[in-house]
Amino acid sequence: MAETLVPVRDQEVWRRVREPLERAWTLPPDAYTDPAVFRAEVRGIFGADWLCVARQDQLPEAGDYVCVDVLDQPIVLVRGGDGALRALSRVCLHRAMPLVEGSGNARRFVCPYHNWTYELDGSLRSAPMMEGAAQFEPHDCRLPELPLAVWQGFVFVSLNADALPLAPRLSGLTALLGHYDLQSLAIVASNDFDSPWNWKILVENFMEAYHHIGTHRTSLEPAFPARDSTVEDNAGAPWALLQMPARDTAGPDEARHELLAVCVFPTLLFAVSGSSVFWYQVEPTSHDRMRLRIHVLLPPGIRDALSDGDRAALVQQVCMVHEEDIQANLGTWRGLHGPLTRQGRLSPFEKAIWQINQLWLERMEAIGGEPSWP
Ligand code: FES
Ligand SMILES: [Fe+2]
């Protein structure tokens, strides 16, 4: 199995991770702290699975674009004149200059280096002063395009040209979220956080309510008691759903009085509370760092009525809870480096972590070769 992929010192370690939840252990410290494991994850997970990179409400009009870096690959998400959303490599076909940065609206992409010009569908429209170049025909050239999928308004891309379709793998989760209208939500506020720790620490922290009794004892625990939290069975599908009923849940509108935490493996995290969603945009860059941007999403009608003060209050609310989690994440990161640190036992309340660990191990064992590029 994973000997060549992960520096395994002891097969017993993985057997413990695979135990049924009641007897299961955490991943070993190396899984978080070893750069070689991250390199294996790049191949087996980030290069193979679907990665959430945007919300479709960020690109409503033809010509709207958003630049993202998927690991080392610069990408531009762009809505074409035909209305289709595409994920194109934004690296110029001439001498590899990135064509564009940030976000905005464009009719075409013009490389800032030597002005090669691309249409919104990635085809090369013109390349100046190339008349003397033999057997060079701009119209035969096209930026590589990645598979793209939209689920519940979240835009995913995959570095794996053979990635299985996303929606069927999430059908169980889609059914459970049926009474929420996530598709129509729009981003109203965002905040960036420096996150110098391993990405799995954040995912695990997000997907259990057990820590409400410690980390959030005065913020979340009074409203969403750890002991009332439950996790749906996922039958091995690449998602996890944590339900946190509110202490005062009652009445016909019961479904609204709960907080949900959702993970679409590996890195899409979002929480649902009433009609609002808090989306954690997670982009791991190395074993010891990720880019994290937390977005608040609301129905467009509510968004349009928000004052600047309302937006600031929403961000403040997110920051307050996340600041508490930062302390837990940083502490864990530090503790995982201790030479005496070993695997720990999971609580039955950490079922989502157990589910995610099974997915992680499955991917790490399945690595057979380089992820394929289109
Ligand atoms: S690198 Fe883009 S035109 Fe030369
Ligand atoms: Fe938390």
What is the reported pTM? 0.93
Q: What's the rounded Cα separation, in Å, for the pair 197 and 54?
A: 22
Using the structure block, give the residue that is written with the tokens 């390349």: 127
The C-alpha atoms of residue 156 and residue 50 are separated, in whole angstroms, by: 6
pLDDT given for residue 252 in this prediction: 53
Q: Report the alpha-carbon distance of residue 18 to residue 86 in Å, rounded.
A: 38
Considering only CA atoms, which of 119, 116, 100, 97 is closest in space to residue 108? 119
Query: Is the distance from the beta carbon of residue 94 to the nearest atom of ligand 1 less than 6 Å?
Result: yes
* Cα 50 to Cα 238: distance, rounded to the nearest angstrom: 10
pLDDT, average across residues 300-305: 88
Dump the DSSP string for 213-238. GTTTTTTTTTTS-GGG-EE---TT-S
CA of 152 to the centre of ligand 2 (A): 24
- Type of residue numbered 150: V
Q: Quick check: CB of 109 below 6 Å from ligand 1? A: no
Tens-place pLDDT, residues 142-178: 999 999 999 999 999 999 999 999 999 999 999 999 9
User: Which residue in this structure is represented by tokens 């479904």?
Assistant: 255
Ligand 1 atom nearest to CA at 97: 1
CA 326 to centroid of ligand 2, rounded, Å: 8
Which pLDDT score is estimated for 225?
97
Ligand nearest to the CA of 215: 2
- The per-residue pLDDT for 253 is 53
Output the residue whose Cα is nearest ligand 1's atom 3: 114
CA–CA gap between residue 286 and residue 35 (Å, rounded):
7
Is the pLDDT score of 374 beyond 80?
A: no
Q: Does the beta carbon of 291 sit less than 6 angstroms from any atom of ligand 1? A: no
Amino acid at 236: G
Distance between Cα 166 and ligand 1 center (Å):
34
Closest CA to 289 of 207, 201, 199, 193: 199
| pLDDT, position 312 | 87
Q: Could you tell me which residue, 306 or 238, shows the higher pLDDT?
A: 238
* Percentage of the chain exceeding pLDDT 90: 83
Please state, for a pLDDT cut of 70, what percent of the chain lies above it: 93
Give residue-wise pLDDT tens across range 26-72: 999 999 999 999 999 999 999 999 999 999 999 999 999 999 999 99
Query: What does the block give as tokens for 317?
Result: 């609310």
What is the residue with the minimal CA distance to atom 1 of ligand 1? Answer: 95
pLDDT digits (tens, 9 = 90+) for 193-239: 989 999 999 999 999 999 999 999 999 999 999 999 999 999 999 99
Count the alpha carbons within 13 Å of 183 in the hemisphere toward its beta carbon: 7
Kindly indicate the confidence band of residue 188, based on its pLDDT and cuts at 50, 70 and 90: very high
Question: What is the 215 CA–ligand 2 centroid distance (Å)?
Answer: 7
Taking 90 as the threshold, does the pLDDT of residue 97 lie above it? yes
Q: Which residue has the higher pLDDT, 251 or 221?
A: 221
With a 6 Å cutoff on the Cβ, whether 92 touches ligand 1 is: yes
Q: Which of 85, 107, 93 is nearest to 139 (CA)?
A: 93
Kindly identify the ligand whose nearest atom is closest to the C-alpha of 212.
2
- Residue 110 CB less than 6 A away from ligand 1: no
Residue 127: nearest ligand to its CA?
A: 1
Q: Give residue 366's pLDDT.
A: 83
How far, in Å, from the CA of 106 to the mean position of ligand 1?
A: 18
Average pLDDT on 240-249 reads 90
